[in-house]
Structure 1
């Protein structure tokens, strides 16, 4: 986010990352019955949103593939099991989708990035902390020394499986002709994200003989892993601009969700035009020498609220209070710190210290993976304003599961509206910057506050919360009210 006063321009900092481990949501989970069989808040792409076992089954079938150059250790056994399982899926899904015979990857190769005697795809593997599909010889390889153990620590067994399912997605895309030598990296990567999502759906449906995946916290962890592989945030003058572009967290999670929801056939629709439509006017690069971070202060909070009034023009704009203690006095809603909305008084109450903490960047030495920064806080503030918009709209409850997802959706609408600079009455200019959407997505997944109802309650599935946010990013206010009545 940026805010620039007249005259001149003061833009703030780059998106950093927060801790790699998926944090537990601060909000509580809603109970109740959904009103739509298509947009059931307690289901994930048609499946019940439940918690349960996630990872390698205790009595899992062993791997069917051998691994070249393996040390025989536990991480290579997990990887070999993952590849074997992924191939079990594609043995059926591939001919059903592409009407052709499935041909497995030619070989599997393991290396230790700390060692000196490995080679993959013609490249020395010393320092190669990566996994990949080699187009030239149809092999799949991975670093057992740093990459896969780190993924397992951060995201569990399914973090490892997710990465290998992505790499196998490249193999499937090449085999089927979805991608070729002239396919842009951006397209190929998101096709692979999509194809990995279709495999993960198969696991979540309890079809896998080796792995399980709950649609609650289990799938949330997989999504966190997908987010962790977003493109780094770059300035317009960075020499790496346009090189090896894979996509933002918002784009990559969206592609994964397409495959999870609609199966591998949906992945054929991903091309430059589709990605461009999904990206729209969302900023991708930061201005030269700027970082995109707007410190959370009383002035910045007032500027965001003023911007919302300009963009949504409510007849009765909500009041803003910075006295956090008054949130408990609301007669018809519970506090949802660090930002709360009281329908009875039409007031947004902000705990400034709490909001500042929510919007803080992680220190580089934390070695985190999820996007953290100012818009993890501002998206929560905006979401409380969106509750005021719902109150004025009328005809909808503010304390239901539908309200939680409607709020996420409207927050997506507001996010896009801020891609154009908004000049507030005090002469400041507010604008979305590159990285802000990824920060919002990370917050919606990890704490759910921007996807919560008036009492700060959300739905169990981060998948559903992000999906509702995307509906708003790609739609408008009325679409949110229609989708989540």
Structure 2
């Protein structure tokens, strides 16, 4: 017997289509999230980065080479200080704002350029950080910041420094005790950076622009690159150097972007523990975290969905890609399509294998659950159709993403299927789903593949399902 064990989030009671129908009919419906909006702003593409007419920086930097990277960095710090000093800090913490004391630059590639930063030599120090000892912010202009700018653009550099400035805000506001876990402090800083980026996106910055479409998508992609690597034997909340998965860090960023800095103060040990639930943060012994896509694995995932949702009529699974193009009431959406007229899920297996192939590069993290989350999303279109819900709009796409998050969470139950497999999810699978939502977006697509234009909205919908339940999805995306 071949057993494929893949584990993810906490234990949630199994629900059926009948419950889904009941929730739709009896729950109070809140205002729908608009798929064309991001935190109250239209999702639009446009320029992102340093303005050509930006004013001169308000700060100077020690040990600078006077180059373009240091200019971008000091402009970033100057802009972040404009945000916090403009009343935001005072409104949030009821006290006056104090800027950081100094800025330090170095080139990690050159030992001759090495200086002391926070008691450490900067030789080979590829990093950016806030030092509470002397209230300074420092960065590597030789390797780190140029790499970020080349791969993700100006705003990735600004994002890193906004995050580091978030640590300064924590320090002067006295938010955390000395024994606060690094994980908590890092996600607070991600949240503060998100609040600042909303201010930029709204057009308040004199120095930078950020579009809510392609610009914000690229910024989120950079956060995927900042995730913690998969580890073994690490406690869920510890005093070590843990920063968080891409899913967690993007979630914290979205909290700040959507709700402002006040919500960041609520991120503490208890909040992180509740948000994680039983979410795995490490691979268990003998786990690889990868279940290669195959005809057998696809059948097992669909079998697990049948067990979890118990639909009155199970959708038919087909590997006939030609038949998918002949569906009378929906377009094909390879690598997985759903046809409402025949209640059929059609899988283009070679294309799904390609989507689920493990990669880890500048475009972001993908892997097996990038593919399986798309497969699950098409199954949930069948569930929604049987529940009498529309499946052919961008709003339906976001509802599908939300319910895919719910279904993903349910797989913590490690569903045993009749073919001898145990279908569950490992640490890292949420990150792979997020990467797919940001790039191809099909897991947040309606029956015709129509999806919200902003990756931010797709990820937000998926996260809503992961951290909530089907009632929340139906209220937000009726």
TM above 0.5, yes or no, is: yes
1:70 maps onto 2:64 in alignment: yes
Partner of 2:200: 203
Q: CA deviation at 1:287?
A: 1.1
1:96 maps onto 2:62 in alignment: no
Residues 327 and 341 of structure 2 are in contact (CA less than 8 Å); yes or no, is this contact kept in structure 1? yes
- The one of 225, 232, 236 equivalent to 1:235 is 232
Output the CA distance in 2 between the equivalents of 1:412 and 1:37: 20
Residues 401 and 458 of structure 2 are in contact (CA less than 8 Å); yes or no, is this contact kept in structure 1? yes
Partner of 1:391: 385
Return closer, same or farther for 1:374/1:265 CA change in 2, 3 Å cut-off: same
> Residue deviations 1:230-280, cap 9 Å, x none?
111012389x99730111111111111111111111111001111111112
Partner of 2:21: none
Residues 234 and 241 of structure 1 are in contact (CA less than 8 Å); yes or no, is this contact kept in structure 2? no
Q: CA deviation at 1:281?
A: 2.0
Return closer, same or farther for 1:119/1:435 CA change in 2, 3 Å cut-off: same
Return closer, same or farther for 1:350/1:38 CA change in 2, 3 Å cut-off: closer
Q: CA deviation at 1:182?
A: 2.1
1:359 maps onto 2:353 in alignment: no
Partner of 1:443: 436
> Residue deviations 1:180-203, cap 9 Å, x none?
422210100000000001100100
Return closer, same or farther for 1:40/1:167 CA change in 2, 3 Å cut-off: same
1:372 maps onto 2:369 in alignment: no
Q: CA deviation at 1:48?
A: 1.1
> Residue deviations 1:108-156, cap 9 Å, x none?
0001111112221111112111100001111000000110011001110
Equivalent residues in 2 for 1:326-475 (5 A)?
326-362=323-359, 367-368=361-362, 370-394=364-388, 396-475=389-468
Residues 410 and 477 of structure 1 are in contact (CA less than 8 Å); yes or no, is this contact kept in structure 2? yes
Output the CA distance in 2 between the equivalents of 1:275 and 1:98: 21
Partner of 1:181: 178
Residues 322 and 351 of structure 1 are in contact (CA less than 8 Å); yes or no, is this contact kept in structure 2? yes
Return closer, same or farther for 1:90/1:38 CA change in 2, 3 Å cut-off: farther
Q: CA deviation at 1:8?
A: 6.5
> Residue deviations 1:397-435, cap 9 Å, x none?
111111010000000001000112111111211111110
Residues 69 and 141 of structure 2 are in contact (CA less than 8 Å); yes or no, is this contact kept in structure 1? yes
Output the CA distance in 2 between the equivalents of 1:242 and 1:328: 53
Return closer, same or farther for 1:277/1:327 CA change in 2, 3 Å cut-off: same
Equivalent residues in 2 for 1:119-198 (5 A)?
119-198=116-195
Which range moved further: 202-211 or 221-230?
A: 221-230
Output the CA distance in 2 between the equivalents of 1:38 and 1:347: 29
Residues 182 and 239 of structure 2 are in contact (CA less than 8 Å); yes or no, is this contact kept in structure 1? no
- The one of 50, 63, 79 equivalent to 1:85 is 79
1:226 maps onto 2:220 in alignment: no
Instruction: Give TM-score scaled by structure 1 length.
Output: 0.91
Return closer, same or farther for 1:461/1:367 CA change in 2, 3 Å cut-off: closer
> Residue deviations 1:305-356, cap 9 Å, x none?
0000001111101000011111101000001100000000000000000000
Output the CA distance in 2 between the equivalents of 1:424 and 1:217: 41
Q: CA deviation at 1:227?
A: 1.9
Partner of 2:469: 476
Residues 419 and 433 of structure 1 are in contact (CA less than 8 Å); yes or no, is this contact kept in structure 2? no
Q: CA deviation at 1:446?
A: 1.4
SS of residue in 2 equivalent to 1:418: helix
Return closer, same or farther for 1:38/1:383 CA change in 2, 3 Å cut-off: closer
Q: CA deviation at 1:439?
A: 0.5
Residues 235 and 289 of structure 1 are in contact (CA less than 8 Å); yes or no, is this contact kept in structure 2? no
Aligned residues: 454
Q: CA deviation at 1:52?
A: 1.2
Partner of 1:248: 245
Partner of 1:298: 295
SS of residue in 2 equivalent to 1:458: coil
1:112 maps onto 2:107 in alignment: yes
> Residue deviations 1:350-400, cap 9 Å, x none?
0000000000012xxx74462211000000000000101101110x21111
Partner of 2:23: none
SS of residue in 2 equivalent to 1:391: helix
Output the CA distance in 1 between the equivalents of 2:234 and 2:30: 48
Q: CA deviation at 1:60?
A: 0.8
- The one of 35, 45, 60 equivalent to 1:41 is 35
